[in-house]
Structure 1
Amino acid sequence: MAYYLRFLRTQHNATGETVGKIVRRSKSTVSRFESGEYRLGEAECEALDRAWNTGRLFSILLHYARIGHDPNWLQQYKEQEAQACLIKTWQSNLVPGLLQTPDYARAGLRAGGVKDVDAAVEERMARQAILEREDPPTLLVLLAESLLELPCGGPAVMKAQLARILELSERPNIGVRVVPKAAGHHPGLDGPFMLLTLETTDVAYVEAPGGGRLVSSASQVRSFGLRYDRIGQHALPENSSRELITRIMETM
């Protein structure tokens, strides 16, 4: 997609500024589209297809990009996470990175076969700086009870991790709710995902082994938002969630 954007822009003798007017983005953003640093979304693809009469080339490329997994999506997700004013996440396997302790992160990264574990832990902890800003994002977290019981790194590491979740859940901008095992089947069993609200757009990130998928289509993002709300219908209230986390921590 980056290649064809650059190729067709050249064929049409268009500048980055001209393309920016077509897709309603800045010249610098167009440059990032062409370098592959940023990914074209549905609105940009449709605008380019109309302006250049491509036969839906960009829309077709976007379709195939969406059904694949790309490790580079994660880097773009991290950049957008740092800019988000609202972050919603559903996690069924691991504590989300923004809530992890260094020891918990280290245990998970080591188990995942990461080569430079120390560097990866440092990077993950650096992402948590957004929670310490003067204007931190609102973070709403739904967690499966089963992941809280899994002693990742051992009982002591997990006990400290649960204590960290309880500590952060008391902040006014952070909400943590637990979906109990008694809920049975619910929409969250399909897997974890994150929703980000930025100043001008909403995106979703779907995790997958070895990569992931960043979703920018408005209709698809809405569907993930609906799924998040439906999972939330099975979650305990915040106070009851804290009580459950405390009980699990006491057994560690």
Structure 2
Amino acid sequence: MTHINALDPGASPLDYYGYELRRYREAAGLTQKQLGEILNYTGSLVGQIETARKLPTPEFSQRADAALETGGQLYRLVDLVLRSQLPAWFQQVAELEARATGISTFQTHAIHGLLQTREYARAVLGVLDDTDLEDRTAVRLARQRILEKEQPPVLWMVISESVLYQEVGGRETMRGQLAHLLSFERTPLVNVQVLPFSAGAHAGMQGSFTLFRFERDPSIVYTEGYGSGHPSANPDTVKDCSLRYDHLQAAALSLRDSAELMRRVTEERYGEQRGSGGDPVA
């Protein structure tokens, strides 16, 4: 167990956050219990965060900043903390997401992490391993904060129609996930197209990939394997995948038709079912 007196703020972003939280709290003359009561959390949780045994959330950070008058310091730190908790091989990808001005992704089996709901992400991450599932889910969702920046990237996602039918997390989770995708229908910076089964053989048959574009730096292609990621700035690879993505977009349904298909699948596959007495059973 980490003892607060021995906490080294230079050990990790999580340790630094805990050190700063304790410093601000003590400067305000509050105990952990008193701060917890102000924030509507337990004093025990405050203590766990201060000793780097529990991850802070953006919501906790905002409340703590307001109560301790930090000028938003903890909320600014929490992105760094959560990013540091990603698997080591994925941290570079999170940095690419944070810096990119444009993200174009083709997904064959699942919704991209930047557009997953909490329930969907939890179901994906919980396959074979449910340890620290809540924290791992929070870390994944924290990546989505790049869409809330003053100048967010333009995100374009093409998904195989099969993704709509892969029942991840159950019917209710899929209803919520598809509703989440549809919520971006009138958001020009977030676009979702569906590649229909009728497209047949297509330019993405080799699998999922993501293109990151930057204001000044060369574009990067990212592909992923089991427990490993493969970013590449090789110009030939980038050119090839950019051409593939253009063809995938051309073969995909329009934004409007994609939204209509998602609505139809939601109703027909994941809508509430009725029992013999007329009551919903789904």
Regarding TM over 0.5, the answer is: yes
Matched, 1:167 2:167: no
Q: Secondary structure at the match of 1:187?
A: coil
Count residues in correspondence: 182
Aligned 1:89-108 pairs, distance under 5 A: 89-108=105-124
Q: Which amino acid aligns with 1:169?
A: E
1:236 alignment counterpart = 253
Aligned CA distance change for structure 1 residues 214 and 112 (closer, same or farther; 3 Å): farther
Aligned CA distance change for structure 1 residues 171 and 112 (closer, same or farther; 3 Å): farther
Distance 1:93 1:217 in 2: 26
Tell me, which stretches of 5 or more residues in structure 1 are unaligned? 1-70
Deviation at 1:73, TM superposition (A): 4.0
Deviation at 1:72, TM superposition (A): 4.2
Q: Secondary structure at the match of 1:189?
A: coil
Distance 2:242 2:156 in 1: 12
1:59 alignment counterpart = none
Distance 1:198 1:114 in 2: 35
Matched, 1:123 2:115: no
TM-superposition CA deviations, 1:206-229 (whole Å, max 9, x none): 011121211111221111111111
Matched, 1:179 2:192: no
Matched, 1:134 2:124: no
* Contact 1:89–1:142 (8 Å) recurs in 2: yes
Distance 1:113 1:93 in 2: 19
Q: Secondary structure at the match of 1:142?
A: strand
2:264 alignment counterpart = 247
Deviation at 1:113, TM superposition (A): 2.5
Tell me, which stretches of 5 or more residues in structure 2 are unaligned? 1-86, 271-282
If asked which structure has higher relative contact order (CA below 8 Å, sep 6+), I would say 1
Distance 1:96 1:146 in 2: 14
Q: Secondary structure at the match of 2:204?
A: helix
Deviation at 1:152, TM superposition (A): 0.3
1:30 alignment counterpart = none
Matched, 1:85 2:101: yes
Q: Which has the greater radius of gyration?
A: 2
Distance 1:169 1:137 in 2: 16
1:66 alignment counterpart = none
CA root-mean-square deviation? 1.3
Aligned CA distance change for structure 1 residues 114 and 83 (closer, same or farther; 3 Å): farther
Q: Secondary structure at the match of 1:177?
A: strand
Distance 1:231 1:240 in 2: 15
Deviation at 1:172, TM superposition (A): 1.5
Give percent identity, aligned residues only.
Answer: 39
Q: Which amino acid aligns with 2:160?
A: A
TM-superposition CA deviations, 1:80-139 (whole Å, max 9, x none): 110100000000101000100000000010015353211111111110001111211100
TM-score under structure 2 length normalisation: 0.62
Farther off after superposition, 136-145 or 71-80: 71-80
